């Protein structure tokens, strides 16, 4: 399996780099205008349309219109989905691996015909590891006003895990089906703190657009929030790799649409939901897990909190404020977050070593006819000297079973 990780480098801006970024942005906006005016459908058709025209207009190398077409088409698709007029505002630059060269920390980018832009990148111990590793393949480079991101890739084999662990994501915590708990209250505290600071600035200067632009998106706030999210994602992936576990997460979509103005919710709650970085945290967990060879899966989050993990009864009368509840069917006392995490784990389809496979030899007749896999809860599978990759699991292999659990 091919895994990719983006590594960020700092650099010092020069008139050459500024001209490169502004020219690329202007080319992207021209490509967007051509795409909308001529109603071009598809990235390849847009590339063929702008290839000669933009190359002659801006006097750039022939490989640049390819990257321009890719960026312009992605912006058009994104803004169509959000029903906005597509336009590139920020300075940017992107190029594929075949067009640039990297001599350790010196990045060489082709720009004008016969001329290249040399950019010395600043790096630390983390970036030095990727620069020295000769086994990694270099992918595309993305450049902004303050940073350079280079994609590194490698081939990683994924071993069959011993078990799955489901995680329920909340505004202030992450709860695992195995009892693990990660605190995210610091993220909510940071959002509240910087929100109060912004409101005080706006009260003193309500009509000053410069202050709103300066303090509207605080870089310090984003860096501190990202630091917390990276730390939690690292702990989760390191634990999964050490215990040979698979990670199961919720496929969270449409949350902000459901909490828009007019849904009878208060302003403070809508603000909290809008600032909840659930997708950013999932992306951190996802790329770290794939880089480490940890299997990861996304399942539907519907009724995970309202379904009893003991009998399967769905309590439709459960409110959002109810953190614990009694199952009206079997009488089990359930905590909302751990119950949801267990249901998320059971919805996962990643095959594990400690599971009964349908149609396996020597199993109970009731298990043979069941089309779904039945997990053996709290069973530790012994380590084997044989390889445990998914290709080694065949229908003739004997499963690791705990016969006392099946009796």
pLDDT digits (tens, 9 = 90+) for 280-337: 899 999 989 999 999 999 999 899 999 999 999 999 888 878 888 899 888 899 999 9
CA dist., res. 288 & res. 267, Å (int): 35
The low-confidence residues of the chain, meaning pLDDT below 50, are: 357-407
pLDDT of residue 227: 92
Q: Are 162 and 352 in contact (CB under 8 A)?
A: yes
CA dist., res. 175 & res. 180, Å (int): 6
Q: Would residue 180 be called left, alpha or beta, if left means φ above 0 and alpha means ψ between -120 and 50 degrees?
A: beta
Structure tokens at 139: 């992918």
pLDDT of residue 171: 84
Q: Are 84 and 40 in contact (CB under 8 A)?
A: no
> What three-state secondary structure class fits 148?
strand
Give the single-character DSSP code of 167.
Answer: E
Neighbour tally for 312: CB within 10 Å: 12
> What three-state secondary structure class fits 307?
strand
pLDDT of residue 33: 94
pLDDT of residue 212: 67
pLDDT of residue 390: 41
pLDDT of residue 369: 40
């Amino acid at each position: 399996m091919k895994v990719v990780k983006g590594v960020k480098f700092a650099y010092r801006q020069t008139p050459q780099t500024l001209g490169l970024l502004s020219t690329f942005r202007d080319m992207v906006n021209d490509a967007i205008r051509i795409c909308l005016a001529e109603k071009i459908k598809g990235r390849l058709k847009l590339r063929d349309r702008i290839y000669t025209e933009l190359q002659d207009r801006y006097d750039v190398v022939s490989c640049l219109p390819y990257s321009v077409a890719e960026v312009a088409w992605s912006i058009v698709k994104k803004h169509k989905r959000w029903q906005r007029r597509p336009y590139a505002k920020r300075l940017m630059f992107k190029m594929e691996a075949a067009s640039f060269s990297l001599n350790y920390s010196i990045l060489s980018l082709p720009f004008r015909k016969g001329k290249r832009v040399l950019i010395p990148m600043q790096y630390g111990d983390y970036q030095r590891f990727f620069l020295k590793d000769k086994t990694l393949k270099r992918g595309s480079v993305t450049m902004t006003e303050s940073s350079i991101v280079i994609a590194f890739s490698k081939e990683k084999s994924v071993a069959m895990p011993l078990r799955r662990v489901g995680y329920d994501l909340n505004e202030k915590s992450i709860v695992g089906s195995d009892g693990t708990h990660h605190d995210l209250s610091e993220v909510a505290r940071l959002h509240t703190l910087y929100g109060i600071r912004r409101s005080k600035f706006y009260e003193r200067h309500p009509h000053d657009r410069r202050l709103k632009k300066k303090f509207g998106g605080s870089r310090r706030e984003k860096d501190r929030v990202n630091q917390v999210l990276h730390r939690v994602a690292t702990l989760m992936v390191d634990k999964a790799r050490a215990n040979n576990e698979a990670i199961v997460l919720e496929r969270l979509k449409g949350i902000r649409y459901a909490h828009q103005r007019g849904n009878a919710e208060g302003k403070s709650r809508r603000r909290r939901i809008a600032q909840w970085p659930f997708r950013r945290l999932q992306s951190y967990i996802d790329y770290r897990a794939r880089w480490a060879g940890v299997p990861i899966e996304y399942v539907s989050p519907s009724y995970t909190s309202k379904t009893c993990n003991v009998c399967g009864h769905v309590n439709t009368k459960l409110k959002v404020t109810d953190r614990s509840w009694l199952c009206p069917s079997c009488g089990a006392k359930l905590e909302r977050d751990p119950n949801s995490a267990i249901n998320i784990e059971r919805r996962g389809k990643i095959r594990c070593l400690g599971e009964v496979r349908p149609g396996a030899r020597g199993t109970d007749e009731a298990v043979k006819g069941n089309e779904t896999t039945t997990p053996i809860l709290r069973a530790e599978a012994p380590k084997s000297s044989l390889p445990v990759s998914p290709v080694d699991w065949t229908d003739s292999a004997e499963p690791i079973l705990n016969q006392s659990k099946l009796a």
